[in-house]
Amino acid sequence: MTRSSRATESGLPHDLSFEATIAAIEKRIEEAASDEDRAAAQAELERESRRVFSKLTPWQHVELARHAQRPRMLDYTSRLLDDFVELHGDRALGDDPALVGGIGRFRGRSLVVVGQQKGVSTDEKVKRNFGMPHPEGYRKALRLFELAERLGLPVVTLVDTPAAHPGLDAEQHGQGPAIARNLWALTRLHTPVFTAILGEGGSGGALGIAVGDWVAMFEHAIYVICPPERCAEILWRDPAKKELAASALRVTAAELLELGVIDAVLPEPGGGAHRNPDAAADVLAEELDRFLAGVDEGRWTLEARQQKFRRMGRWEDAG
Amino acid sequence: MAFLKRRRFISVIGRKSAVPPGVWMKCAGCNQPVIRTEVGANQWVCPRCNYHLRITARRRIQYLVDPDSFQETHGTIVSADPLGFSVDEVNYSYRERVKKAKEKTGLNEAMITGFGRIESTRTVLALMDFSFRGGSMGSAVGEKFCRAVDDAVRERLPVVLFAASGGARMEEGLLSLVQMAKTADAVRRINEARLPYIAVLTDPTTGGVYASFASLADIILAEPGAHIGFAGPRLIESALKVELPEGFQSAEYQFRNGFVDRIVNRTELRPLLGKLLRYLSTP
Ligand SMILES: [Zn+2]
C-alpha cells in the first residue's frame, strides 16, 4: 500500500513515533530510481518492520489498535465479502450508525455480519459516534442474531469499539440491560458465531457482540476491561500512568490467548494491518473459512460455546 | 468509581467509619442529626427522610432470612491474582489490596452465596457487598454466582440476588470482563430450568454487574435512591461536557424508564420477597 492512500483527510500521514524508520524506508521505495534500489529498500523494509514489531510494548499495541489508518470494519467486509446488504434499525427506537449489520455473502454462502464501524473521515467518525454504539445498536445486533438463528445462518461479529456510548440518552434507553440481553442471547443462540477483534475491544461495548464460539483477535489489536488511561486514573489518580496500566492489564492478543479468553491470534502483515489491509483481510478470510469448514463437518455445538464461557476465570479454592 | 464515595461520611460499611460510633449521626439524605440506634433499628434507613444507607451482606441476611436458616456455600472461593497485577512504580499490589479487603470486611469475597428461607420459602441467595473492593466482580464473584445457580438448578430452588457493585474488577483485566458473559450464561440456566430469579438492585449497581446478571432477572426490584446505571456519571460528564440532571441514574429514574419493576423500602423487602417467592414457586 502506498503512503498517499494511508494519508488522512488533511493529507498528512499519521505515523506513530516508533513507525518513523519504517515510514522513511517506505518513502525511499516510492522514490526509488531503479528496480534494484526498490528491491533493496523492500528487503530493508521487511527487516526493519520485523525489528520494530518484535519488541513492541503493551502501550504501543494500544497505539496500533487505535491507529488512525487501521482498517475499519467496513474495510474488512468490503474485502471479505462478495456482497453485503446492510440492514437498519432496532425495530423499537432507531438506527445506530455505530453498529453496522446485515447479510453478507462469503465464498458462496450467506452470513449475518454485525460489527462496530469507527469511521474514517471526520464526518464519518462523527456520524458513527467513533464506533461507540447506543442501546439501539445492541438491539439491532440482537434482532439480526435472532434472524440468523431462525434462518440457520452463521453469525460473524467484527469488534472495533472504544466502548459502549456513555451518555444520557444511552442510559435512558437502557445501555446496561441492552448489553446484558445480548450476552444472554448469545449464550443460547443456536447457530454458529465467529468473532474477530479487529482493533479496539473496549469492555462491555465489545463483549456485547463478542460471545462467540471462536474468538479470533488480530495480533496488534487490544481487548480491555477499561482503557489504560482510565484504569490509571481510577487506581492511581494519574492518567499519565497509562503505560503502566497497559502492561498490568494484559491487553495484547498473545497474553489474552494465554489467559484463555480468546481462541486464536491472527498474524498481521509486516508493519501492522494498516500497511497492508488486503493481506490482513486475507488472514481473516482464511480463519473464517476454517471455522465454517469445521461447522460443515459437524463439529459445532452450542454446548461447547456455553462450556467455554462457563470455564473462564481464574480463582483459588482456599478450602 | 470515585463518584461512588460521595456518601462516605455516613457510611456504616465495614468496621471503619468516618463517623465515630457516637449517639448522633448526620443523615446524608436530609442533612439532619439522627440518633444512631434509631437508624440501626430501622435497618439503617433514616426515620426522618427514608434515606437508605449502604449495608453489608451480613446485615442483609439478618434482615431477610428466617432465623438460623442461612447456610453459606462456596465460601472458600477466593480471588487469585491471575494477571500478577502488581505495579512497583506506584507501589500497587492487587494481592495486597485483596488481603486488606478481607481484613477490613471479614469477608472472603465481594459476594456471599448460600441457602436460606425467606418467609419459609427455601431459596438460593447471592448477596454482594460493596465494602469488599467496591463489590467488584472478578473471577471469584463470577464463579460463586455460577455455582449458586448450579445449586438452585439441582435442588429446583428460586434465586434471589442482592446487587451492590461498582462494576467489574479492574485488576483481573479481561478475566473480569468475561464474567459478564459467564454470569449471563448462568441466568440462562436458571431460565431453562424454569425457576424464578429475582434481583434487588441496591446502592450502587453499576457497570459490568448491571450490564450482565443483575439486569437479567425475571423481576427487578430496587431500593429507594439506589444509584443504578451502566456508565459512571463522571465519565458521562467529562465525555459530554454537560451537567447531569438531578436524580440521573437513580432507582426512581430507572423505574420511570421501565427498567425496574418496583421500588421497595428496605423494611418492606422481606414480606414482598416472601410473597413473590410463594406465588412463583406454587403457581
Ligand atoms: Zn435523613
Instruction: Check if A16 contacts B (Cβ < 8 Å).
Output: no
Task: Report which DSSP code applies to B45.
Answer: B
Give the pLDDT confidence score for residue B6 in this predicted structure. 47
Closest CA to B226 of B270, B197, B269: B269
Domains and CATH numbers, chain A: 6-55 (no CATH), 62-311 (3.90.226.10)
Place of cell 489474552: A256
Give average pLDDT by consecutive 10-residue segment, chain A, 319 residues: 41 73 92 91 92 94 95 98 98 97 98 97 96 98 98 98 96 98 98 98 98 98 96 93 97 98 96 96 98 98 98 94
Give the pLDDT confidence score for residue A3 in this predicted structure. 38
Chain B residues with CB-CB distance to A222 below 8 A: none
Is residue B181 scored above 80 in pLDDT? yes
- Give the ranges where chain A is alpha helix by DSSP (H): 3-6, 20-31, 35-53, 58-65, 73-80, 122-127, 135-151, 168-172, 175-188, 203-207, 228-236, 242-249, 253-258, 277-296, 302-311
CA distances (Å), origin A205, targets A69, A159, A305, B134, B186 = 22, 9, 20, 22, 20
Closest CA to B259 of B249, B268, B267, B269: B249
- Give the ranges where chain B is alpha helix by DSSP (H): 36-41, 57-64, 94-105, 139-155, 173-177, 179-192, 207-210, 233-240, 251-256, 266-281
How far is the C-alpha of B267 from the C-alpha of A32, rounded, in Å?
A: 81
CA distances (Å), origin A40, targets A31, A269, A295, B137 = 13, 19, 45, 54
User: What is the pLDDT averaged over residues B175-188?
Assistant: 98
How far is the C-alpha of A100 from the C-alpha of A117, rounded, in Å?
A: 7
Span from the CA of B245 to the centroid of ligand 1 (angstroms) = 22
Q: What angle do CA A86, A88, A93 make, to 5 degrees?
A: 165
Q: How many CB atoms lie within 10 A of CB A255?
A: 19
CA distances (Å), origin A263, targets A137, A258, A305, B268 = 26, 9, 11, 47
CB interface of A with B, residues 126-165, below 8 Å: 164
Closest-CA distance of chain A to residue B135, Å: 15
Give the pLDDT confidence score for residue B283 in this predicted structure. 64
Query: In chain A, which residue's Cα lies nearest the Cα of B211?
Result: A176
Span from the CA of B9 to the centroid of ligand 1 (angstroms) = 13
Place of cell 468509581: B1
| CB nearest to A234's CB, from B1, B140, B192 | B1
pLDDT band at residue B13, thresholds of 50, 70 and 90? very low
How far is the C-alpha of B140 from the C-alpha of A65, rounded, in Å?
A: 30
Span from the CA of B26 to the centroid of ligand 1 (angstroms) = 8
Cross-chain residue pair B78–A318, CB shorter than 8 Å: yes
Place of cell 427506537: A93
Instruction: Check if A175 contacts B (Cβ < 8 Å).
Output: yes
Span from the CA of B266 to the centroid of ligand 1 (angstroms) = 14
How far is the C-alpha of A307 from the C-alpha of B236, rounded, in Å?
A: 36
pTM over 0.80: yes
Query: In chain B, which residue's Cα lies nearest the Cα of A256?
Result: B174
Give the pLDDT confidence score for residue A164 in this predicted structure. 97
Closest-CA distance of chain A to residue B81, Å: 8
Instruction: Check if A290 contacts B (Cβ < 8 Å).
Output: no
Cross-chain residue pair B180–A183, CB shorter than 8 Å: yes
How far is the C-alpha of A32 from the C-alpha of A27, rounded, in Å?
A: 8
Give the pLDDT confidence score for residue A6 in this predicted structure. 45
Chain A residues with CB-CB distance to B140 below 8 A: 313, 315-316
Instruction: Check if A209 contacts B (Cβ < 8 Å).
Output: no
Give the pLDDT confidence score for residue A198 in this predicted structure. 98
How far is the C-alpha of B251 from the C-alpha of A12, rounded, in Å?
A: 49
How far is the C-alpha of B186 from the C-alpha of B159, rounded, in Å?
A: 11
Cross-chain residue pair B78–A317, CB shorter than 8 Å: yes
Q: Where do the domains of chain B lie? A: 54-281
| CB nearest to B170's CB, from A186, A235, A259 | A235
Q: Is the dihedral of CA A270, A276, A277, A282 positive or negative?
A: negative
And the C-alpha cell for A242? 497509562
Give the pLDDT confidence score for residue A92 in this predicted structure. 95
Who's near A55: CB < 8 A, 6+ residues apart?
none
Closest CA to A159 of A182, A132, A185, A183: A132
CA distances (Å), origin A297, targets A191, A214, A300, B144 = 14, 16, 8, 36
How far is the C-alpha of B77 from the C-alpha of B263, rounded, in Å?
A: 32
Cross-chain residue pair A179–B90, CB shorter than 8 Å: no
How far is the C-alpha of B128 from the C-alpha of A261, rounded, in Å?
A: 25
Give the pLDDT confidence score for residue B15 in this predicted structure. 40
Strands A193-202 and B121-128: unpaired
Is residue B49 scored above 90 in pLDDT? yes
Ion ligand 1: residues, CB < 5 A: B 27, 29-30, 46, 48-49, 51
Class assignment of domain B54-281?
A: alpha beta
Using one digit for the tens of pLDDT, what is the confidence trace for B16-37?
444 556 789 999 999 999 999 9
Using one digit for the tens of pLDDT, what is the confidence trace for B87-116?
999 999 999 999 999 999 999 999 999 999
Q: How many CB atoms lie within 10 A of CB A35?
A: 8
* Segment among A275-284, B139-148, B228-237, B272-281 with least mean pLDDT: B228-237
Q: Mutate which of A168, A171, A189 to test chain B, going by most B C-beta atoms within 10 A?
A: A171
